[in-house]
Amino acid sequence: MKKSYAKFSSALRSSASSKLLDSEQMILVSGCLSGSNSFYNGRSRVCKLIKKLAEENKAIPVCPELLGSLSVPRERSEIKGGTGVDVLAKKCRVITISGRDVTDNFIAGAKHALSLAKKYSVKKAVLKSRSPACGCGEIYDGSFTGKAIKGDGVTCALLKMNGVEVIKDEGFIKSL
């Protein structure tokens, strides 16, 4: 994965399958991917290429959990009984490993992320895989056993409902 930024930028602009960046189009990215220590355990899941985009003001880093007033570090959370779409429809909840309901925090953070996307006319986002907030296409099943199911996290679901194209971080890197 040692690609220079120039190669990365060129690959993004020329790849038919991942036309992520238009000339000046901002993208939304998970904060932990840009180097922010916002992951639940206080670490980051930094992707050097995404960090570079954020440093060059081509990406807006967001952490929906922090935007929803949760702290770092915080307990792991998972969606219990459904997906982000179900959380937004009030059909299931986001629960911490100790059983605390943090659904309202996740919804508030998702709404804040969406407001930023609208403010900056964001059309595309790269979000952290399997997260109960940012997960795209796959999230943990709510059992805290590491088992994944098909579905989106709360923020991913809300962004998609509002016309933002969401790419999971793993798919983003593989498409280069």
Q: What is the pLDDT of residues 77-117, one digit of tens each?
A: 999 999 999 999 999 999 999 999 999 999 999 999 999 99
**To the nearest whole number, what is the mean pLDDT of the chain?**
85
What residues contact 140, with CB distance under 8 A and at least 6 apart? 78, 79, 130, 132, 146, 147, 148, 149
pLDDT: which is higher, 54 or 149: 149
Assess contact for 109 and 92: CB atoms under 8 A: no
Percent of the chain's residues with pLDDT above 70: 83
Residue 47 token pair: 């992707």
How far is Cα 5 from Cα 18, in angstroms, rounded to an integer? 16
pLDDT score at 7: 36
Q: Do 52 and 5 meet the contact criterion of CB atoms below 8 Å apart?
A: yes
Whether the pLDDT of residue 44 is over 90: the answer is no
